[in-house]
Amino acid sequence: MHNIGRLLRTCLIVGLLAVPAVALAAPGPKTVYAITCLQETYKPKQITIACRDGTVRVSKLRWTSWSSTQAKASGVYQVNKCNPDCASGRTKSFPVTITLSRPKACSGRKHKAFGRLSYTFGSKHPQPTPRRTSLPCPTGPPPPGY
């Protein structure tokens, strides 16, 4: 009986410790979102840069930091040169680290969104090599649960 009481106390303590960890991982009202193809997303796995045809994107994102001023992730920069056309073109991939910065208020949105995406490539990089991209405010409907 004594062991059951100890087990129950341990479970209660572990459960109480887990609640703040879950709360810290979820986006809150002051969270700054990423913009991907005119939508806002918190810690997206992919950010599409060329929204019309999807020829440029950063995918397989693993976020190492996220704050109200900037966010950093490593992933894969993918570009389709559309040769001979976008449907037949081959996608080239390059390892990249990205930084989202310059949070801005967007009309009709309750959260700020990062307005700039900067790239850092290693020795393998696309030609020409992009340094940064401005991200326009979303115009589509807010994401579910926003």
With respect to residue 3, please indicate whether it lies within any of the assigned structural domains: no
**Phi-psi label, residue 41: left if phi above 0, alpha if psi -120 to 50, beta otherwise:** beta
With respect to residue 139, please indicate whether it lies within any of the assigned structural domains: no
With respect to residue 115, please indicate whether it lies within any of the assigned structural domains: yes
Give me the number of domains the chain comprises: 1
With respect to residue 75, please indicate whether it lies within any of the assigned structural domains: yes
Host domain of residue 129: 28-134
Q: What percent of the chain has pLDDT over 90?
A: 45
With respect to residue 41, please indicate whether it lies within any of the assigned structural domains: yes
Residue range 19-34: average pLDDT? 60
Contact 98, 72 (CB under 8 A): yes
With respect to residue 23, please indicate whether it lies within any of the assigned structural domains: no
Band (pLDDT 50/70/90 cuts) for residue 28 is low
Q: Is the pTM of this model over 0.85?
A: no
With respect to residue 121, please indicate whether it lies within any of the assigned structural domains: yes
Indicate the helix (H) or strand (E) that contains 57.
strand 56-66
Band (pLDDT 50/70/90 cuts) for residue 29 is low
Residue range 117-133: average pLDDT? 91
Residue range 14-43: average pLDDT? 65
Predicted local confidence at residue 76, as pLDDT: 97
With respect to residue 55, please indicate whether it lies within any of the assigned structural domains: yes
| Segment 59-80, tens digit of pLDDT | 999 999 999 999 999 999 999 8
Burial of 144 (0-12, 13-18, 19+ CB in 10 A): exposed
Indicate if the pLDDT at residue 2 is higher than 70: no
* Size (the chain), residues: 146
- Residue of 96 and 126 predicted with greater confidence: 96
